[in-house]
Every structure is written in C-alpha cells, then in structure tokens.
Structure 1
Amino acid sequence: MKNKILLLLPLILISCATDQKNKKIVITPDTTDITKSYGTSDFRKNIKSSDINLKTEAQWDSVNELKKHYKHESGYRRHKDYKTFGWHMYSEGSAYKNYDFSLLWGISYFSYTINPRTGSYHEIHQWKTTNLVDSAKANNCKVFLSVTNFGAKNNATFLANPKAQETLIDSVSALLKLRDADGVNIDFEGVSKKNKQEFSNFLVNLSTKLRNDNSKYQISLALYAVDGNRIFDIKTIDPYINFYTMMGYDYYGSFSHHAGPIAPLKSSTTWGKNSLEHSVNYYIEQGVQPSKLIVGLPYYGGEWQTNTESIPGKVIKFTNHYTYDQIKKKINSLRLTPTYDANSATAYVVYKDTQGKDKQIWFDDSLSLSSKYDWMKSKNIAGIGIWALGYDRENKELWELLADKFGQEK
C-alpha cells in the first residue's frame, strides 16, 4: 500500500464482465456485477493482502496521524429496544477512545484472521491487550471478536478440514475467555456454492461447542448484501445463531460500470433491484427474524472517474474508497455542496479535478443515514451496524444522529 493507510484496504480491482451498452436511465450491468462477487465485500476483501503489520495501537495512530482524541459524549445512552453495533478495525489503533460506548449495544474487534490450513490465526492484532475491551465493558457494551476468512479457495480449504475447524473453535474459545468477551461475529466472504453444506455444518458445530464452553456466548453471522450463491441455509443454522449482521454496503464499488450509491435504500429503475430494502426482504423471506437482524451501513464512500457529469455516469476508472472524515475534508476543500439522490437516499458530489476529469463521490451522511435508520425502524429489525467505527474521526454529527434515533437520556 502507498504512503498513509486511508482505510487500510488497498484499491481493489475486480475483473468485470463485458460492459453492456450504456442506457440513459435503467442500469442493468451493476445488478449483475454485485452477485458476481459472490458475497465478498468490495471494501474489505483485500485486508488479508495488507503489507503493513504493525504491533501496537500507537504505531497505527502514527500511520493514521491520529494525534489527539475527540471523545464523543452525547448525554444519551442506547435505548433498550435497539441494538446498535459497530466494528472496530485493528488498523484504527486507539480511535476507540473517541467512541461513545454508551450508545453502542455491541462492538466487534476486527479481526481473527484464519489460517485456512490449520485453523489457527494469521493475526489477531491487539486483541489480547487492547483497552477497547475494558472501555466497552465499563459502559455495558458487549464485546465480540470477528473471525474472518476471505476467498473461495481459503474457505474451501478450511471447510474441508475438520481438524482445522476444531483448532479454530478451541483457539477462539480461549481468546474469548481471555478477555471475558461476549461472543463471535463469523465473517466468511466468498464461500462457493459447493461448500454450502460444509459451511452450515461448521456453523452448527462452532455454535454448539462455544455455547457448551460458556452458555452466555452469542454467535453472530455476517450476511452478504446479495447472496448470489444462496450460501446461507437459514432454516438449518438459525437455531444456532443469536443474531445476523447484514453487510448493507458495496452495492456499487470498484466493480461497477456506473458510479452509484454504496448503500441504496430502495430498488429503482435507476439503480437496479439490489438495495437495502431488497436484501432485508430477501433474508426475512429466507427465515431470518427481523428481531435477529442488524443491518450494517457504511461510514465511507466511493469515488469514480466518469464520462459525464450526469447521473448515472458511466465509469472510466474507479478512484478509491474514502472514509466519511476524508470525504468531508475533500468536499470542504473543493467547496462542494452534496446533492441527495432520492432513489437511493444517498449523498453525492460531482466535480472536475485539476485535469478536467469528471469525478463523482457517493457516500452516506447524517441526512441519508437518517432516512435509512427511519426505514429500518419501520421494519422492526433489531438494529443497525456501523462499518466502521472511527471513520468519522472528530466529526460529531453521526454520533448525534445515533443518539437521536436510537438513544434516550441518561
């Protein structure tokens, strides 16, 4: 990776299907493209490729230029009827010192990266020592450990090896006990259709054994925005899963033929069938109870070079993913005012760079997230997730929105 790590994820280039003719309004190519990623989050699937392996939170703070902390305290606490959940990337260092834990029901440390051949971990980063765990517990915020395995080959290797699975379960159990944690968030991305049964068997086995070790442990499972391969056998696994975290983002990304919303709220002729609404309805139809579903939303956006200033704009080149904080800094420096796309309930800006190239940035802010939070509350789902905590830095408006939508006075 180059210079400072923005999101700790290198630019991801995906081989896409041949582009179809650009249509003025209706976009069909992108509806297909997201399913071609087979459940791999565009934004985070190359975490495993990181060539930076720092050993302390202070080192990550230095890389991220996190020189001071901005403690967000709203005077509110989470309302008991909602589950507000967030992921803390190891690469965010001590950014958790900014978090208002009283507004969070749960937080997951990202992550235990599986060695698929053995089941042990390639990395657990600062899990054994991070004060994040203590800070969360002091505010009655549950603590989870994300367990990740990315890519069809890695998943096939691991799921074909019962011994590796036993090693993983034993290792995770010990790590949860070490930090008196509350459970795990299983995030296997890119599982092939042929491994569906093995994946279900693994989840049942892991849940059974971890709960035998400690009955308080909660087992959660990350669901793809689009389950193109129908990997999740909800009827089989549901008795063993306490809650689900749906990755409600990357509907548009580096793979897209058109610039567009990272997390479109509803299906439309402009942005296609795939949307938060479509995904939530799909999983409910598959048997996921709304009361067990947490929908993750992005604290980041994407930038594309396009062939036009118009919406939708055909992609010439995907530029990058940016955190919410970086997008705010960028649009402020360019003196841009976000426009809101009603079809997707998403903010965007269009501008020309110094070379005269057309650029579009699509992202969620407090206004667009407010619409999505309201919709999710109307669906009576368990709550919302944040990918990822810390991406807002000193900006307080997203915490204020959480307090407004999911909080109550202390």
Structure 2
Amino acid sequence: MHRYFQESPVKLPKPPKPPPVPKLPKPPKLPSDTSVNTKLIQRILKAFRFRYNAHARERARVLYIINQTLTDSLVVSKDDIRKLNEALTKKENQQFDSLMALLNQIAASHADEPAGSPTDTAGKKAVQEPDNPVPGTDLDALVDKMMPILQQKSEEQDAENTKAAHLNTVRSLYGRPPDQVDTLRMSDSLGARYLVRLSQKVNVMGIQPYWMEQDYTTYNFNALSTYSFLGYLVDGQTGHIQPAFQQDQVKSIPDAVSAGCNLQFLFLDKKSSNILALLKSKNAQAVFSDSLARLLAQQKADGVTIYFQALPDHQRTAFSNFIITLSGALKKANENFKINVVVPPYDPSYNYDLRALHSYVDLFVIDFTQAGGETAGPLAPLDGNPSKSLSGAISRYLQGDIPPSQVSLLLPYYGAVWKKGRDGNPDVFSRYVTYSDIRKQYPSDTVPIFDETTATFFIEVKDQYGTVKEEIWFDDGISMSMKYDFVLKNKLGGVALWTLGADNGTTDLSDALVDKFVVTDTLFLDTVSLYPPIPKNLTFWQRVKRELRIYAILFRDPCSVDISQYEGDTYFVYFTIGFFVLFLIAGAAYFYFVKTQGDDWKWRKKLLILLIALILLTVVSGFMALFLNKEMPFVGISSVPGECHSVPLTSVLAILGIGFVLGLLIMHFFLQPFLKDDDVP
C-alpha cells in the first residue's frame, strides 16, 4: 500500500535553526599603488565578502584565489579584464564553480611568468603597472557579470538551508514505530492524539538486484514506497519461474517490508530468443501467469515489473496480448495486484502499443539507464536530444493519451564512461561506473563540469598532453534534484532507481531523494483529557471534592474537560427528580391542609415558601443536568471536536438568572391567585 494519511492541523515542532556561518578573516590589505587594480580587487572582494549565505569554505577559497591572483602579483592588465568579460558572457561559464575556474586560470598564467623580473628591496616581485589604464566601463561590466553569479550562489545556499531543515525533520522520525501515538497539548486539560509517519509524494521504487544483496544494510528504506526485487527468471519455453539466488541469502526483503515498503518483483530479460519463445507460447504464458500469482501471494507482494530489455521488433501485438493475459490472471487471483512495464524513451519500431496497454498497466516506467549513440553524453538528460531526453519522452507519452500519473522514470545511480573519438571519429561508449566508484576515484575537490542543457555533470579525463581522452557523465544530488523537480512539476506517477547500492558510501543521492519526495503525514485520532482517570475506591467526600474542582474548570472552559472526568450529570438528574418529587409532596400537603383546615392554617405561608424554593431548585438542577449531559452535546459538553460549546461563567449565570425569573413567573401566574393578599410572602 502507498502510505498516505490525512493531513491534520496539528503542527510538528519546528526543526532547529542551522548553525551560523563562521566569520572569515579579513583579506590582506592591498598595496596603495595601482589604483585601477585596487578598485577592481576591492569591488570583487566586497561582492564576495557580503554574500552572506555563500558556503564558508568556498568563500574562503575564492577570497584566497582573488588575493593570490590579483593582490600578491598585482599583474592585472586590460587583457585579463577583457578575457574575464568574454568568458563570463558565455552561458556555460555563468556558474560559481566556473568563475572560480576562470580565476584559477589567471592565477596559473601569472604563476608561469618567467623568473628574473625586477624585484624591490624586500626581494619581492615589483609591482607592474598596467600598460594602459583599464577602462572603468570594463570593470563595471565585469562586476555586473559576477554579481548574478554570486546571487545565484546565495539562492542555492538558501535552498540548501531549507533542505537541511527538512532532512533534520525527516531524520528525527527514522526508527519510529509506525503505531506510536503522540499527544499534543491543546489546553490545560485537553490533548489531541495523533500519529506521525513518513510517506512519499509519488511512487518511489528502489530496484535491488540479488547480486547486490550485501549492501542492503545501507539502504534508506524510509525514502522508498516500493521495494522491487530482481532475482527471479522465467524460462520462455516452459514459463516456469526460477530463482537466481539462494533463498536463505536474501535478507533485504523482510527489512524492506517491516520498514513499510510495498514489495514487488522485477523480471529482467536480456535474451531476445527467450523473450520471443515466451511471446509465441500461450501455454508458457499461462504457466508463468499462474506461477507468478502464487509467488506474489506467497511472498505477500503486490505487483510485478516486466522489463524486456531485448524485446524483438515486430512483436507489438504479441507483447500486448502477453500483458493482457498476465493482467487477467493476476487480477483474477487478487484484484489489487499491479503490473508495471518498462518502456524505452523512444520507440522507433513501435513495439509498445500504449493505447492497447494503458488499461492493463499501472505504470509505464521509461528507461533512462541505457547508453547509446555516437556522441558522449548523459544517460538521463533533462533536455536536449528529444529522442533521449526526459522532456522529449514525456511529451511523446503524454501525447499518446497516457495520463501523467501512469508514467514513471527509471533513473540511474551510475554514470557512463565514453572514449572520445579523434580526427572526426565518433565517440564510443566504454562502460558503466557506479556513483560510489566515481566519488572514490575523483575526490571531493574535483570540479566536474555542469552541462546546463542536460542538467548533468561530466568529468574530462585528460592524458599527459592535455588532450581529453575520456568523458564520464553522471548525476549527483544536485542534478538528480532537478530531475525530481521535473517529475513533481509534470505530476508524474513516480521514479524508479537503478540500482540500490550503487551509491554505497555516499549520501547526496539519498538526501536528494528524501528532500524532494519524503513528507511527514500527521493523522489525527481523537482528543483526550490530560487529567488522570478517576481513582477507584474514593470516599464520598473525596468524590465530592474532586467533583467541585472539576466544576471550577467547567465554568471557565467547559470544552477543556473530558466527559469522563466528572459524574455531575448523573447527580443533577437525581437532584432534579428529588426536588420535583418533594415539590409534588409539598404541593399535595399544601392543598390538603388548606382544604381541611382552611386558609387560617398556621403553616400555610411557610409551606408556600418551601414550594417556591423547591420549584426554583428543580429548575436550576434540571438546567445543570442538561448542561452536563454527555448524550446531548448540542446543549453542553462533548468530547467530539467541533460539537463542544464552551460557555463562559457569565453566560452560565445569565442562564441561571433566567431560571430564577421563570420560577418567579410561575409563582406569580400559577400560585399567587390561590393566595390572599396578606399571605403573599
């Protein structure tokens, strides 16, 4: 089941604020000469220094680069300014890391200057004056180009702070029992009970191949809604299902299920001959369908994903019939069983009849894990080539009358290594490499190049002569977040990750997944009293004292008292009945003695006063019985939210006053006609 819960107005505690950014040491004082260069340096330093939200380490690094490049050597010619301006005009350089790289290039060019330059008396290189003054317009243009880059970095850091706060909130719920109930204090005596759980905005499927079972202890099951296990094979000739693993070696499935993930199985087939045999044999399809239904029921799974990676051409009708047959068999066994089908980003051979399949398929999972072509590039480009990009594929599928909620993206947790062609030869795909291996091979200070069109990073591997011999294209947490945003923006059904464990030893891919898709759901249960339950075996006076304390609260805020905390509704019913019975007895006695002894009976006036008092007490106790009645919330107190009417003490007194007036009216119109003038009390 997909873990969705009704959102309640109960608010979770705010996460702690991120620690303040440490202050950086002031940059070294600039020399007093070369005023033009000083103007440039000061403006650059000021721009960087006041970017309050920039990463402290990166700010320090940039300040160091600028100081070393433009302060120590102070060799800044108008050619340097012009080159920086020209470089920052290009879109690919309008990134914070690109700016750092450009400054590094200036530093490197000055570091390579020939020795023997004139020096001053202190032995340091003498300051070189620019050959011609640097135009102020060029300086202004340079700083104007740098400011948006710094602003972009500031906004990115704001987003990072928001992400960190969200991750802290989500992580605080890790390991929490799914049935743990909390109580939020709503008043001094009333609390709201609720459940807090983690859920996903969309279906997040993590694929676990059986050969990566050893890494399952590092998985963040809280980020997944579906755990898809790849470990069963189908014999196309017979339709029999066979496990490719030892049953006692698989321990990830129980852990995933206990964490709340739905369990599914994925059938991957890379052999065209085996697929073709299955599609041509009705008997094999029937055996496979029945065997799969039993397997799903036995393992308490809820669905299957069919991934025929080597589906032969011209099998459009046969494949559709196979999926329809499989759907019928599974739905017959359990109408809640799901079927997903992996499809390519671009289907030039029309092997997949989407209109025929969409009524039988729960999710079409678009595969962005396969490298192809003759030009080095990413596996899952956000934009660019319409036959390979996410945007192009989604546009085609949605035009085929497939609703967005029925489409999911299969995204890789590994990169593609390409050998660069020389002398006009095409690039050649070399191999796949896991994200964890990329991070191990290239440490954190390696600055990859970001391709803005595809929203993907790549690293250039150069030989000793500086020639690029390889390119490694991959996604990290930043680029994956952009693709997750694409999923949410287009309201797609979800994502599938190939494969879990490929990021072992790193956290940024998992953090991006949690940040974009995992939310906290609060399910309101009921309201409860914060007072302890009524103790048993209380004495009469203890019960009276406790009841009086509850009444003191009732007259201030009746809705803050739970109906289980008092017994007054029963007491006042008895009081009302008792006063009314006494009133009837006293009234009968009054009429009897007046009739037998006449109007001169000496106790006549006192008994009449008693009658008035009894009727007033009957009215007041009757009102209190109604007010405290637990079965009539529309006139008093209730534990059901929205039905309790909190009546303040002033209103209660007003109602009581009306009761007294009513009693007087009763006396005036019903009793006074029977009295003589001198008998009126």
Q: TM-score by structure 2 length?
A: 0.46
* Structural mapping, 1:207-246, within 5 Å: 207-246=327-366
Deviations along 1:308-346, one digit per CA (max 9) or x if unpaired, are 69xxx964543321001011111229x631110011000
Instruction: Find the counterpart in structure 1 of residue 473 from structure 2.
Output: 362
Q: Give the Cα separation in 1 of the matches to 2:395 and 2:499.
A: 24
2:413 aligned residue (292, 299, 311): 299
Match among 442, 448, 464 for residue 338 of structure 1: 448
Asked if the contact 2:415/2:473 (under 8 Å) is kept, the reply is yes
Q: Is the 1:219–1:240 Cα contact (8 Å) retained in structure 2?
A: yes
Judge conservation of contact 1:184–1:218 (CA < 8 Å) in 2: yes
Counterpart amino acid of 1:169?
S
Partner of 2:457: helix, strand, or coil?
strand
Within-5 A mapping of 1:318-397: 318-332=429-443, 336-353=446-463, 358-397=469-508
Paired position in structure 1 for 2:404? 290
Q: Is the 8 A contact 2:200 2:223 kept in 1?
A: no
How far does residue 362 in structure 1 lie from its aligned partner after superposition?
A: 0.3
Structure 1 partner of 2:180? none
2:397 counterpart of 1:256: no
Residue range with higher mean Cα deviation, 145-154 or 363-372: 145-154
Q: Deviations over 1:214-258 (max 9, x none)?
A: 2221111111122222122122221211222221232xx2x4312
Question: Out of 91, 94, 115, which is 2:235 matched to?
Answer: 115
Aligned counterpart in structure 2 of residue 74 of structure 1, from 171, 190, 196: 171
- 1:314 to 1:372, Cα distance in 2 relative to 1, 3 A: farther
User: Quick one: which of 285, 289, 299 aligns to 1:169?
Assistant: 289
For 2:455 and 2:301, how far apart are their aligned partners in 1? 36
Aligned to 2:221: 101
Q: Contact between 1:306 and 1:360, CA under 8 Å: does it hold in 2?
A: yes
Q: Secondary structure at the match of 2:231?
A: strand
Q: Secondary structure at the match of 2:315?
A: helix
3-state SS of 2:376 partner: coil
Note the alpha carbon deviations across 1:6-64, whole angstroms, 9 max, x for none.
xxxxxxxxxxxxxxxxxxxxxxxxxxxxxxxxxxxxxxxxxxxxxxxxxxxxxxxxxxx
Match of 1:180 in 2: 300
TM-score, length of structure 1 as denominator length = 0.74
Q: Secondary structure at the match of 1:291?
A: helix
**2:305 counterpart of 1:191:** no
3-state SS of the aligned residue for 1:166? Answer: helix
Distance in structure 2 (CA, Å) of the matches to 1:75 and 1:247:
34
Cα offset, 1:186, TM superposition:
0.9
Q: Secondary structure at the match of 2:359?
A: helix
Whole-angstrom CA distance in 1 between matches of 2:306 and 2:247: 16
For structure 1, the 5+ residue unaligned runs are 1-72
CA distance 1:82–1:75, change in 2 (3 Å)? farther
Q: Structure 1 residues 345, 357: CA separation in 2 closer, same or farther (over 3 Å shift)?
A: closer
Displacement after TM superposition at 1:296 (Å): 1.3
2:207 to 87, 101, 106: 87
Does the aligned pair in 2 maintain the 1:256–1:315 contact within 8 Å? no
Q: Which has the larger radius of gyration?
A: 2
Change in Cα spacing, 1:286 to 1:152, as seen in structure 2 (3 Å) is farther
Quick one: structure 1 residues 261 and 168, their matched pair in 2 at CA, closer, same or farther if it must change by over 3 Å? same
Distance 1:146 1:276 in 2: 23
State the partner residue of 1:139.
259
* 1:54-105 per-position Cα deviation (integer Å, ceiling 9, x unaligned): xxxxxxxxxxxxxxxxxxx934665443111111011102322211112111
**Is 2:403 the partner of 1:265?**
no
The 2-side partners of 1:128 and 1:200 are apart by 36
Q: Distance in 2 between matches of 1:97 and 1:114?
A: 28
* Aligned counterparts of 2:497 and 2:265: Cα–Cα separation in 1: 15
Structure number with greater CO (CA < 8 Å, separation at least 6) is: 1
Provide the residue aligned with 2:390 in structure 1: 276
Identity in percent: 27
Contact 2:241–2:292 under 8 Å retained in 1: no
**Counterpart Cα distance in 1 of 2:310 and 2:432:** 20
Q: Secondary structure at the match of 1:198?
A: helix
Greater share of residues in strand: 1
Superposition deviation, residue 110 in structure 1: 1.0
AA partner of residue 227 (structure 1): D
Instruction: Tell me how far 1:388 sits from its aligned partner.
Output: 0.8
Specify the SS of the correspondent of 2:351: coil
> One-letter code of the match for 2:390?
L
CA-to-partner distance for each residue in 1:243-299, whole Å, 9 max, x for gaps? 22221232xx2x4312111111013xxx46431111111111112211122111110
Q: Is the 8 A contact 2:207 2:227 kept in 1?
A: yes
Question: Whose helix proportion is higher, 1 or 2?
Answer: 2
Instruction: Give, in angstroms, the shift of residue 301 of structure 1.
Output: 0.5
Structure 1's 111 and 224: CA in aligned 2 closer, same or farther, altered over 3 A?
farther
Q: Is the 8 A contact 2:228 2:264 kept in 1?
A: yes
8 Å CA contact retained: 2:268, 2:306: yes
Give the number of equivalent residue pairs: 328
- One-letter amino acid matched to 1:81: K
Residues 109 and 144 of structure 1 are in contact (CA less than 8 Å); yes or no, is this contact kept in structure 2?
yes
Partners of 1:74 and 1:403 within 8 A in 2 = no
Distance in 2 (CA, whole Å) between partners of 1:349 and 1:86 is 27
| Amino acid paired to 1:320 | R
Query: Quick check: 1:86–1:389 contact (8 Å CA) kept in 2?
Result: yes
Q: Which runs of 4+ in 1 moved over 4 A?
A: 126-129, 313-317, 353-357
CA RMSD of aligned residues (A): 2.4
- CA-CA distance at 1:116 after TM superposition: 1.4
Counterparts of residues 45-84 of structure 1 (less than 5 Å): 74-75=171-172, 78-84=198-204
